[in-house]
Structure 1
């Protein structure tokens, strides 16, 4: 069965996403920086407001290198103390390869947690080589568009990645409803949306009706 993950910034977003039928949330802050780590306080508000799984972003700087790894580890610890058990992370080194050292360093705070390797994969030198590296790191999900330019440009890569699971492929990054039939036919079962369920853009909250429309497309 297909799943729909929706980006949430607030508890209000989370409630609307759940009302619309979303299966999981990705909780972030600061979409102007493409999504950074939210506060533990925000996570607590969200977790009290909904009962669907919440994956929390661990990222403290725009781009795919950590701004301050020590601070990220502290944030991870604080979020775990607040009850978080699922996370989203992913880093590249200066040469454009998956940064295994940084990733493992942060994973030391996440023992026993489920986690997604996010779109750093799309921005690596080679998405397929990066996938092989990420498989060994232990994530259960990879969020990818197949290209740094988004799903439209990455469709063929995404079709090839469906044959290389596990981990599970979660498609997001410029995903539009018109892409869904082709992706479903290729065997994709995970879909990730953000602005697509906010009719007025990132300055507006998640719209439950828009989420519901996506859910009906995935049946």
Structure 2
């Protein structure tokens, strides 16, 4: 069965994802910027919301927005964040780093995986910003990465479908391909049929904040996890899996 991962920003999102049949969540802050490292308070409440479900909460570690070429201080910050997650009950970390010439920074990645210890490591969509994602995917062999989140180097995953299918074939042993990036419910069956191990989406809905933000508070709206979208994604995956196996079971 194809896994379903939901990107969430809080404990409420964790509960919705769990109730909607998600396999796991990626917890982050500031989803509109592509996601940043969440606070330790958010991590603690997310793990509690998972209700003891082992491996359910994976945490994005990204110290700032922008590109993925990091300074010495950026790397130290993220290593410290990864280390602080040990023993919190999270199921894994999500990281990525590139060199200035558009390749995966294997040296920085080695520092991240060392800091993670026994926690599973996912390499995020920094892969889509590399000069040659297929070549760089192969370079992850032996890196300690167990999963890669990618759109197939396209703006939306459905547009990168052919590349995603190629990635499934080229992925090193022990590295799963997870499709993510602009995923719509109607895209999910085709993504699953490409052979990816998981599909990732935010299932976000924008809600109006009834309370004034003031002149320095930013937009008068909030992002929330939509239970209808989560349930729809799970249903789309289940239908696609049944079609792929020739099963007529609901």
* TM beyond 0.5: yes
The answer to whether the Cα contact below 8 Å between 1:60 and 1:66 also exists between their aligned partners in 2 is: no
Unaligned residue ranges in structure 1 (runs of 5+): none
Q: Deviations over 1:136-186 (max 9, x none)?
A: 312111100001423133111011112123411110011122222222222
How many corresponding residue pairs?
217
Per the alignment, residue 39 of structure 1 pairs with: 39
Deviation, structure 1 residue 79:
1.6
Q: Which moved more, 1:140-149 or 1:86-95?
A: 140-149
Task: Compare CA radii of gyration and give the structure with the larger one.
Answer: 2
Q: Return the TM-score normalized by structure 2.
A: 0.81
Equivalent in the alignment of 1:204: 223
Task: Provide closer, same or farther for how the CA distance between residues 181 and 111 of structure 1 changes in structure 2, counting only shifts above 3 A.
Answer: same
Instruction: State the match for 1:16 in structure 2.
Output: 16
Counterpart pick for 1:178 among 156, 172, 186? 186
Query: Is 1:214 the equivalent of 2:214?
Result: no
Q: CA deviation at 1:85?
A: 4.1
Runs (4+) of structure 1 exceeding 6 A deviation are none
Task: Tell me the secondary structure at the aligned position of residue 199 of structure 1.
Answer: strand
Greater relative contact order structure (CA < 8 Å, 6+ sep) = 1
Which shifted more, 185-194 or 201-210? Answer: 201-210
TM-score (norm 1): 0.92
Q: CA deviation at 1:74?
A: 1.3
Counterpart residue number, 1:57 = 60
Measure the CA separation in 2 of the matches of 1:189 and 1:35: 22
1:169 aligns with 2:177: yes
Unaligned 5+ residue runs, structure 2?
Answer: 208-220, 239-250
1:145-160 equivalent positions in 2, closer than 5 A: 145-160=151-166
Q: CA RMSD in A?
A: 1.7
Asked if the contact 2:192–2:199 (Cα under 8 Å) also holds between the matched residues in 1, the reply is no
Q: Which moved more, 1:40-49 or 1:172-181?
A: 172-181
